[in-house]
Amino acid sequence: MSDRLQAGDTAPAFTLSDADGKPVSLSDYAGRKVIVYFYPAALTPGCTKQACDFTDNLDLLAGAGYDVLGVSPDKTEKLAKFRDKESLRVKLVGDPDKGTLEAYGAFGEKTMYGKTVKGVIRSTFVIDEQGKVERALYNVRATGHVAKLIKDLKLDAA
């Protein structure tokens, strides 16, 4: 398991295929803020809730200058099915070899139903315009996470 990232670290570079098989690189977002979130599997209840929450808040996030990128170990075909079935507007990319997941510390041992297993650690990273990690959030909950993130980034219209 790789070390966890901290605020101030340089975000590990990556190029992964999106749901249409097109390459997407972190460097594509240079000069913009990007929220990169890692989730275990497309088409599962928790991951669907999280992806729908990001989609529902995409206009608010984009208006505040944030792009959103969802990363899972799924292959492009499954990502396309997930996007189409749930009408997702979040850019989804697949990391089947788990290299990017590991580089971000988002893959490793975790406790699930009382057992220690190896898998995706649901995590979210806020990366600034210079490619530095602003926030590194590990073991986030699928439900309510996006609302909390918006509140923490002070984007809520309160």
Q: Which of these, 69, 83, 6, lies nearest to 38 by C-alpha position?
A: 69
CA 7 to chain centre: 16
DSSP 19-46: TTS-EEEGGGGTTSEEEEEE-S-TTSHH
Rounded to whole angstroms, how far apart are CA atoms 142 and 128?
23
> Annotated active-site positions, please?
47
Q: Which of these, 87, 98, 153, 144, lies nearest to 125 by C-alpha position?
A: 153
